Structure 1
């Protein structure tokens, strides 16, 4: 059986990257992540990302490109990350998060990222510095 896919978005807006602080489950609370969630049967990764960011943050986003690689989460789950552009709405921590923060270039290491998010965050921050998100 193949792993379930969890998608996350490196959401860009005005030259900044969105970070979300987990409020649950307890073992993850207080750590930061790229927001997202599980892909449902019949969804593409991009479709799941748009839906999850709408549910978790109340925003509309446009997936841009997948960051190469995938990272193991808990057993049976892998993380895949897409860059995405904020289309409309103001992100708010509606589910699973208690704080959001916009990080500018050079601020990628100012929050305590979850281990599995770090490789994708490093690439997302590099792309932010390169202006590749515009």
Structure 2
């Protein structure tokens, strides 16, 4: 089984915007699961608006890669496929909905994120986008 998720990559100053949901101990990139009939960009704009109270500009979205790993908190063999986009936005990111905390992370925080996010951190670090 593979869980289909969309994530927003917002990088600034060598750091990446990450979120921690209420009751969770690890950080995740903003985003989430697609609802029936949604496109990638529909999912991206809805999830980011719900989690961070900002508005993504879908016209500026750039596909940054798709990554697959063991799904955090699921039984062995359950995978998550994370399709990542960067995009411009309006507003100031703040914790909303199920989000307890918003933090800017660096590569040194790699051990604090989910397995698929670790792959994304590795990619961004190797391409000199995450310090």
The TM-score range, normalised by the shorter chain, is: 0.7 to 0.9
**TM norm structure 2:** 0.74
The answer to whether the 8 Å contact 2:68/2:116 transfers is: no
The alignment of Structure 1 onto Structure 2 pairs a total of residues equal to: 122
Equivalence map 1:70-89=2 (5 Å): 70-73=68-71, 74=74, 78-89=80-91
* RMSD of aligned residue pairs (Cα, Å): 2.6
Aligned to 1:124: 124
The answer to whether the 8 Å contact 1:40/1:48 transfers is: yes
Matched residues in 1 for 2:33 and 2:82: separation? 10
Q: 1:110 to 1:53 in 2, by over 3 A?
A: same
The answer to whether the 8 Å contact 1:19/1:32 transfers is: yes
- Deviation sequence 1:57-105 (CA, Å, 0-9, x none): 11122431141333342466633131323421111111222111123xx
Aligned to 1:23: 22
The answer to whether the 8 Å contact 1:58/1:94 transfers is: yes
More strand by share: 1
More helix by share: 2
Matched residues in 1 for 2:116 and 2:93: separation? 23
Structure 2 gaps of 5+ residues are none
Q: 1:69 to 1:114 in 2, by over 3 A?
A: closer
**TM norm structure 1:** 0.73
Structure 1 gaps of 5+ residues are none
